[in-house]
Chain A
Amino acid sequence: MDAIRARGITKCFGDVVALDDIDLDVAQGQIHGLVGPNGAGKTTLLGLLLGLAVADSGSLHTLGRPVGRALAAPDGVAGFVDGPGLYPSLTARQNLAALAALRGHDVRTAGIADVLDQVGLTDVADDRVRGFSLGMRQRLGLGAALLTKPRLIVLDEPANGLDPAGKRHVHGVLTRLAREGTSVVLSSHHMDDVEALCSEVTILATGRVVFSGPLNKLAAENRELDYRLLTSHPQSARRLAADTAGIRVVDGTEARHDAEVLVVRTLVPALDELVVRLVQSGIALRELAPVVSPLEAAYLALTEQQEDGR
């Protein structure tokens, strides 16, 4: 059973078509990324999943059941859009306790301390949220979602404002949840987060799906990428790259400022060939990474195509 199955979802606000015939499938236990430029319809789609709005047409099933036309979050679904809803006059613990009481849970047994620990806010549990940073609010928002023990979590930009430690915390929590069978749908502008967390991704542009599927499929379908190489002999490596078929040495990038770094534009097979030749020539390869992630490159290419096609 899919956690989400959407077919032909369309949502308009007046004359603006926010979502145009959207299909979406998210399997149980999957972390699914939703990316797209501002105004692509990500938040609208997440709002539909949370029951904050009703689509104009199409069908939407969450956790195997059809979503009704009433403005209400389906059972087992939790999360937030446009930032977590928290009350600044309450402490972190009070926010969660009020929410637990609202759900009819016994505050003493609702696992508030455990949730605070999971999101790394135990030390500030009794501080008023008024003084929290954006990252701390995001983590508390995630905690509020966890409190309901959901089977589907919907998160809008959960990594906003997170420092590296906070990000690691959140990633750890989401990965564990997915391992335990909870599905996660998150939107983000941070491609590295999406790549680190998500097994599948949907790219939206101007309310339409321009790609949906596994990340590796996206990379394979992609065109040439820029790769950054750090070698033991930069000049020799540069010559070798220039002599390799299908490889183009790129100037005018950040590498220009660092003579030690070589940037090449190529497809994966040609890159493999270059690596073999470097090693055979006795040149040590110390670092190899795409300048722009495959997801980001694909995202840029696909959304630009969409923009051009309008």
Chain B
Amino acid sequence: MNMYLNTRQINGFKALSLCSVGLIGFIISLYGQSDFLLQAGDVWRLISAPDNNDINQQIIFLLRLPRSLVACLIGVNLGIAGALMQGLTRNPLASPTLFAINSGAACLMALNSIGFGVLTHIPSEVATFAGALIGGLLVFLLGGGLQQNANPLRLVLAGIAINGLLTSLTRAALIIADDMAYSMLHWLSGSLSEVDWQSWSQLWPVSLLAFVLALSTCRGLNLTALGEQTASSLGINVTFLRGRVCLTVLLFTSISVTLAGPIVFVGLIAPHLARALFRHNYFLLVPASGLIGGALVCWADLLSRSIVPPAETPVGIVTALIGTPFFIYLVLRGKS
């Protein structure tokens, strides 16, 4: 039976094709587009006959594998975060980028690295997390997130204003500390080139926790889709739900932005694609958005290494370049 309140219905074919698109991207990104001559066979040998002295295997294991894993998981995180935000605000345009989470993180990161005031004394991860928190909360509160039936446009406008403010602060920081401008710019565009196994070990526990939290909000989000008053009448504590969703989104995005910088548009596009496949049920939408996001970032990372080799284009630029035309298409196609 087709149930809205639990997870019984999964469309096997769609799910399988999604997984395989992601998996193919993942495997190709393990050996493709490298300065070294790596081949698919090396990946296979790493699994079947691991050899510590084989330089190709070592490159794949120490450099490529963590990078691909992190890319995938960050995509998953951003995809789910986008789906949750769109569900909570019932606004198809909500995304981590709109909520100034990325630019908040970037701003504090930039201020931290140029040694601004007290910010010098805290580790950059903490600064980034705090920035994400501040940016997101500012937009949420100023955009009328706590009021009933707040106009979605107001949220968009608040997002634009806060984004503009934080972005120009970031730029000012870059201009003042011009010796670090290039590396910061790279980070600000979202880059996976610094990722290693340590990033992976920071990433997965947080993501797992956030994922469990995300699943626990699915039913509430399904009911919130009927309107907040209806959801409340059906026994959902809407304020509590909002708090939980916000916390989840912050966990997902802040850990991702800390490790790889802002990777834009994934959180916006993945849920839209997922909705085209699985409609409105968040029990399906959340994992599907995650899968799509993961596949998207994986392929974008692969592309980012092949546009102008040997230089790496930051992956965030690639997602933006792919994402925008698609987004415009979505906006124009949708019903008014």
- Pair from one complex: no
Where the two chains meet, the residues of A that have a C-beta atom closer than 8 Å to any C-beta of B are none
